[in-house]
Amino acid sequence: MKRGLTVAVALTLFLGAAVAWMGAPAGLAQGTSRTIDARDIPVPAAASQALRDSIAAMPMMPIADSAPSTAAEWEAFVQQRDGAADGTLQPLAAAFGVEVDQFEVEGVPIYRVQPANVDPRHEEHRFLYVHGGAYVLGGGEAGVMEAVLIASRANIQVIAIDYRMPPAHPFPAAVDDAVAVYRHVLGNRPASSIALGGTSAGGGLTLATVRRLIELGVDVPGAIYLGTPWADLTDASDTIHTNEAIDRVLLEYDGWLSAAARLYAGDHELTHRLISPVYGDFDGFPPTYLISGTRDMLLSDTVRVHRKLREAGVAADLNVYEGMSHAGYMIVADSPESQQVYAELGDFLLEHLK
């Protein structure tokens, strides 16, 4: 190699040689997208039997879904999806051995989920839960399912925040509600005894809430939980594209998901650091427990957040499950994967909460 050759030039030459060695055609276009032929994706052989059975039994959904465009259409969309949960909360609570009651904190509706047997080490701890649902779904009883799972399996009291959502309440209403409830709980106990977290939009809202607390000079929680966080509301993440139609939950970004992102953002850019938190910094964040799966469209969001946390010197525990789509640990709640997610979350909280 010629003396003084830069590392960048040397790597470029090496890459060119490697591509030629592997037999890639000459004149390969730079920076283009790649079209892949249609192919069959088998049920993941290395996943648990419960997860494989669930995937095999679920009918294939059409990839193209229409998006609501008016407030009335959004309200009908939400009612159709969330309405299926009406009347299911108390039977669910009974099945998992928890008690649920509802009240308000700082004008924000709250569900308190109390396990029958709180771990003595969690007696003084509280878990503040923010639900998912692309910032438009999961209101009311529909948003309490994972709070029940966390309370039952981690044996900790959970407070589920029923935050405001669009179309009536776009950003920053959800962040404001989460901050208000957190500050109320903080009035009765140290920040080091409080955990905050949720799945999907709940994970994104957790990140935004912590960032807002830092901006306000408020002590951050002792630990946070990010279940496949929606941390980038644009379509920039790799697996938004590579796992399209493979993820059996989200299916695709174009359609109602991207419409929900724009509805939530309102007049703000999707890359605003409190809307898509991956574009902000992570200095001062607490220890973080992250979950995703190999079929999850938000796997890249989770990976990008994990990398930024590590770069900021934050203790971050990333767990990726074989064959799991978006939030599959909630959907197949009787699977070994689901059991592991929440048991290890409980251990993580015991390690980091004071």
Cα–Cα distance list, 264 to 134, 199, 208, 283, 287 (Å): 8, 17, 13, 26, 28
In the predicted structure, residue 40 carries a pLDDT above the cut 70: yes
Q: What is the pTM of this model?
A: 0.91
Q: Are strands 108-115 and 98-105 parallel, antiparallel or unpaired?
A: antiparallel
In the predicted structure, residue 10 carries a pLDDT above the cut 50: no
Sign (positive/negative) of CA torsion 172, 177, 180, 186? negative
Measure the N-to-C terminal CA separation of the chain; round to a whole number of Å: 56
Tokens for 75?
């309200």
The count of C-alpha atoms lying within 13 angstroms of the C-alpha of 35, restricted to the half-sphere facing its C-beta, is 1
**Residue 259: strand, helix, or coil:** helix
Beta strands in the chain (DSSP E): 98-105, 108-115, 126-130, 158-161, 194-199, 223-227, 288-293, 316-321
Long-range contacts formed by 254-259: CB under 8 A, 24+ apart:
255/64, 255/65, 255/66, 255/67, 256/65, 256/66, 256/67, 256/68, 256/77, 256/134, 257/134, 258/67, 259/67, 259/68, 259/69
- List, in sequence order, the alpha helices (H) in 135-172: 145-154
pLDDT digits (tens, 9 = 90+) for 173-223: 999 999 999 999 999 999 999 999 999 999 999 999 999 999 999 999 999
pLDDT band at 11 (very low <50, low <70, confident <90, very high): very low
pLDDT of residue 9: 52
CA angle 276, 279, 281 (to 5 degrees): 120
In the predicted structure, residue 22 carries a pLDDT above the cut 50: no
The most distant pair of C-alpha atoms in the chain lies apart, rounded to whole Å, by 74
What is the C-alpha to C-alpha distance for residues 304 and 39, in angstroms, rounded to an integer? 28
pLDDT digits (tens, 9 = 90+) for 276-285: 999 999 999 9
In the predicted structure, residue 25 carries a pLDDT above the cut 50: no
What is the C-alpha to C-alpha distance for residues 168 and 183, in angstroms, rounded to an integer? 24
Residue for token digits 């994104």? 204
Of 6-10, 194-198, 231-235, minimum mean pLDDT range: 6-10
Q: What is the average pLDDT across 33-60?
A: 85
Q: What is the CATH number of domain 49-57+64-352?
A: 3.40.50.1820
Most confident of 32-36, 67-71, 252-256, 260-264: 260-264
Output the average pLDDT for the chain.
90
pLDDT of residue 14: 41
pLDDT digits (tens, 9 = 90+) for 321-341: 999 999 999 999 999 999 999
Q: DSSP class of residue 293?
A: E
What is the C-alpha to C-alpha distance for residues 342 and 149, in angstroms, rounded to an integer? 7
Sign (positive/negative) of CA torsion 288, 294, 296, 301? positive
101 strand-pairing partners: 112
Is residue 108 a contact partner of residue 174, using CB atoms and an 8 Å limit?
A: no
Higher pLDDT, 248 or 16: 248
Q: What is the average pLDDT across 114-134?
A: 96
Higher pLDDT, 24 or 102: 102
pLDDT of residue 66: 75
